[in-house]
């Protein structure tokens, strides 16, 4: 009686089942060395190898920018593509906001403290430059003047600008420089990491400031810089040069922190960039201080409206955009910047800037006389 059995053997990436030599399911087979058996075995191996081959798996691109709701983040035309960027949403979202919160508080304090010292040094240098200017005017009167000097023309143009326009010139130059860096393909990964703010990124704090100077779209940058240039004279006349710079930089960080809070609360992670949050602070401050001022849209110069009504419309639009989840703009950052501008011009100026005197006195002692010797008290 013949024994029925199978021997399993591996063949390449496939599997093959063959009969033992000399055994048969139905009876005796030809001898092991016969050509007929070898041919059957060869064909059997080939068929099983082809039959057990696995189809290659198609690698799907990872979409890490998916919120907790499962909806993919829809990219705005104003931000760079993020398909190749890996984000890491924290399993404990509230902890993500701890470091950005302390960075916001610390940076804002340093910004206003530095502005107070800058104002002190600026006033001191103006006194010295007044006497130097008298000497320079006397030398210019006896020195032969050069016609067509390029440097002279640049100085003439610079002196024709208002204090506000001269102040924002450096900010605009920084934005143009960062915009040019976006045009370098080899820098895209670095720019996405440090010049876009996203609570799902590994780098959380420095992008809150650097993204304020970052624009990927030329239209986005041109629109923001035009608004900043238009309101520069008014805001610097209200706050002064040093205080304006502190407010502008702090507004960029604060508006990004509000954006972080909104993204963590809704689970809609995604990168943001642009100076819109800080510019909204400037716009809101001017509109709050001068509510009856007349404004117009560049494309509709004949249609004018009051600054107070414009501010109300902007706040209403950004509030609706944040609630409804509109993704073309970062409406949370816009709203945070606008609310900070209203608060600062109403209360913050009295609470922060007018209480800088102790710091200025301390700096004055360190700068001029040094620490007092002796143990006597004042």
- 116-139 pLDDT, tens digit each: 999 998 888 887 776 666 655 555
Helix axes 276-289, 241-266, angle to 10 degrees: 120
* pLDDT tens digit sequence for 279-299: 999 999 999 999 888 877 776
* pLDDT tens digit sequence for 156-192: 888 888 888 999 999 999 999 999 999 999 999 999 9
pLDDT band at 155 (very low <50, low <70, confident <90, very high): confident
Mean local confidence (pLDDT), 73-91: 58
- Looking at 267-306, list the stretches that DSSP marks H as alpha helix, in order from N- to C-terminal side: 276-289
* pLDDT tens digit sequence for 242-287: 999 999 999 999 999 999 999 998 888 888 999 999 999 999 999 9
Query: In this structure, what token pair is assigned to residue 368?
Result: 């001029």
Please return the burial class of 26, using the count of CB atoms within 10 Å of its CB with bins 0-12, 13-18 and 19+. Answer: exposed
- C-beta pairs of 369-372 under 8 Å, 24+ apart in sequence: none
Neighbour count for residue 35 (Cβ, 10 Å): 8
Question: For residue 69, what pLDDT is reported?
Answer: 36
Provide φ and ψ at 57, rounded to 5°: -80, 135
Residues involved in catalysis: 276, 334
Query: In this structure, what token pair is assigned to residue 61?
Result: 């691109």
Mean local confidence (pLDDT), 43-64: 46
Percent of the chain with pLDDT over 70: 67
The CA distances from residue 131 to 127, 128, 137, 140, in Å, are 7, 6, 10, 15
Decide if 87 contacts 200 (C-beta within 8 A): yes
Exposed e or buried b per residue across 251-280, where buried means at least 16 C-beta atoms within 10 angstroms of its C-beta: bbbbbbbbbbbbbbeeebbbbbbbbbbbbb
């Amino acid at each position: 009686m013949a024994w029925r059995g199978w021997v399993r053997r591996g063949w390449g990436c496939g599997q093959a089942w063959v009969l033992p030599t000399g055994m048969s399911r139905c009876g005796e087979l030809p001898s092991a060395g016969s050509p007929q058996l070898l041919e059957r075995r060869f064909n059997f191996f080939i068929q099983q190898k082809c039959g057990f081959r696995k189809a290659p798996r198609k690698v799907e691109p990872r979409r890490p920018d998916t919120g907790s709701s499962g909806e993919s983040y829809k990219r705005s035309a104003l931000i760079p593509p993020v398909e190749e960027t890996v984000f890491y949403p924290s399993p404990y979202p509230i902890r993500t906001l701890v470091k950005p919160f302390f960075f916001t508080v610390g940076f804002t304090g340093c910004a206003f403290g530095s502005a107070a010292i800058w104002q002190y040094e600026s006033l001191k240098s103006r006194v010295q430059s007044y006497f130097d200017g008298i000497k320079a005017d006397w030398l210019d009167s006896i020195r032969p003047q050069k016609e067509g000097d390029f440097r002279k023309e640049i100085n003439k143009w610079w002196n024709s600008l208002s204090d506000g326009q001269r102040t924002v010139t450096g900010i605009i130059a920084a934005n143009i420089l960062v915009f040019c860096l976006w045009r370098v393909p080899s820098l895209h990964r670095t720019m996405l990491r440090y010049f876009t703010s996203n609570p799902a990124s590994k780098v959380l704090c420095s992008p809150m400031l650097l993204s304020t100077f970052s624009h990927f779209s030329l239209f986005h940058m041109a629109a923001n810089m035009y608004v900043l240039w238009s309101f520069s004279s008014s805001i610097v006349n209200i706050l002064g040069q040093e205080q304006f710079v502190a407010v502008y930089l702090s507004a960029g960080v604060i508006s990004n922190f509000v954006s972080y809070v909104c993204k963590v609360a809704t689970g809609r992670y995604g990168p943001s960039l642009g100076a819109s949050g800080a510019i909204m602070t400037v716009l809101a401050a001017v509109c709050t201080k001068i509510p009856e001022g007349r404004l117009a849209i560049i494309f509709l110069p004949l249609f004018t409206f009051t600054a107070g009504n414009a501010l109300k419309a902007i706040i209403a639009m950004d509030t609706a955009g944040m609630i409804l989840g509109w993704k073309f703009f970062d409406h949370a950052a816009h709203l945070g910047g606008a609310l900070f501008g209203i608060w600062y011009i109403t209360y913050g100026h009295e609470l922060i800037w007018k209480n800088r005197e102790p710091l200025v006195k301390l700096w004055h002692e360190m700068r001029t006389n040094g620490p007092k010797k002796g143990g006597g008290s004042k």
